[in-house]
């Protein structure tokens, strides 16, 4: 029956033991030699020769232990490499992006709706703010009375922060749709500094670089691809960027 192969830790322990025994054997030779130098006549040649043989044997055992350690390390490395290979093959075989693709579609749909609603609100507030500012001028704004429109229950400002105030009721402030979406992303990524950094990098990338990211998640680019009907309604600048992202309709579609 073959003995169980040594682990690197076991082989290293055996090597340490062999080295310690070899050191002790060599030290004993030096001790015997010093006793002879000091006049000890009881030390015989046979004793010296025998101790030297023991020391040589101990050194050979060190060499054997070193070889066992090297072999144990080789076997261990081979086993660990095979294990990682098995994990890699299992990962690739079982890899599924279905959940990511589904969630990405939901996020895109929600983000598109969020942008549209936020843009509409922003545009309405800016329009009323401009009218309020213009009316305030017509009502005779002056340094002594900068807000004659207050008598009519409103005030407006068309420079940052753009907004409209209904006196005694409240204020509506314009926020760009992109800022709203950015704030939502920041909320979703709270505490995830690396994810925040990566998201910021993606937002600053050219379309071709975004395409590489989308292509790295199988099925994601296809899920975010425009159909022909939606594509035909897009402004040209949106089409250009979406095409660089690889989201244009397939050629044989429609």
Summarised one tens digit per residue, pLDDT across range 179-202 is 999 999 999 999 999 999 988 888
Confidence of residue 133 (pLDDT cuts 50, 70, 90): very high
Parallel, antiparallel, or unpaired for β 163-166 and 170-173? antiparallel
pLDDT at res. 253:
57
Per the listing, tokens 């004659």 go with 148
Query: What confidence tens digit (pLDDT) does each residue in 15-48 have?
Result: 999 999 999 999 999 998 889 998 888 888 898 9
**DSSP-assigned letter for residue 44:** -
Q: Measured between alpha carbons, how far is 124 from 114 in angstroms, rounded to an integer?
A: 15
Arithmetic mean of pLDDT over the chain: 92
Confidence of residue 177 (pLDDT cuts 50, 70, 90): very high
pTM listed for this prediction? 0.71
Residue 233, token pair as written in the block: 């309604």
Q: Is the pLDDT of residue 252 over 80?
A: no
Question: Which of 1 and 76 is assigned the larger pLDDT?
Answer: 76
Dihedral class, residue 219 (left if φ above 0, else alpha if ψ from -120 to 50, else beta) = left
Q: Measured between alpha carbons, how far is 51 from 10 in angstroms, rounded to an integer?
A: 28
Residue 159, token pair as written in the block: 């420079």
């Amino acid at each position: 029956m073959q003995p169980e192969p040594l682990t690197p830790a076991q082989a290293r322990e055996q090597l340490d033991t062999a080295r310690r025994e070899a050191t002790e054997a060599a030290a004993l030779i030096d001790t015997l030699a010093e006793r002879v130098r000091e006049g000890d006549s009881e030390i015989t040649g046979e004793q010296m020769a025998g101790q030297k043989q023991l020391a040589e044997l101990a050194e050979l055992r060190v060499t054997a232990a070193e070889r066992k350690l090297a072999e144990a390390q080789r076997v261990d490395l081979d086993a660990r490499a095979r294990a990682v290979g098995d994990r890699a093959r299992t990962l690739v075989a079982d890899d599924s992006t279905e959940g990511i693709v589904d969630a990405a579609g939901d996020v895109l749909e929600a983000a598109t709706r969020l942008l549209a609603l936020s843009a509409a609100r922003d545009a309405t507030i800016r329009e009323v703010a401009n009218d309020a500012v213009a009316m305030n001028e017509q009502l005779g704004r002056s340094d002594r009375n900068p807000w004659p429109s207050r008598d009519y229950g409103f005030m407006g400002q068309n420079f940052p922060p753009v907004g409209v105030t209904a006196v005694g009721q409240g204020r509506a402030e314009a926020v760009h749709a992109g800022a709203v979406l950015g704030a939502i992303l920041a909320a979703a990524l709270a505490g995830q500094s690396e994810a925040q950094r990566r998201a910021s990098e993606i937002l600053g990338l050219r379309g071709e670089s975004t395409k590489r990211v989308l292509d790295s998640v199988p099925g994601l680019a296809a899920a975010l691809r425009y159909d022909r009907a939606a594509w035909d309604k897009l402004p040209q600048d949106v089409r250009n960027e979406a095409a660089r992202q690889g989201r244009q309709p397939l050629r044989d579609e429609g």
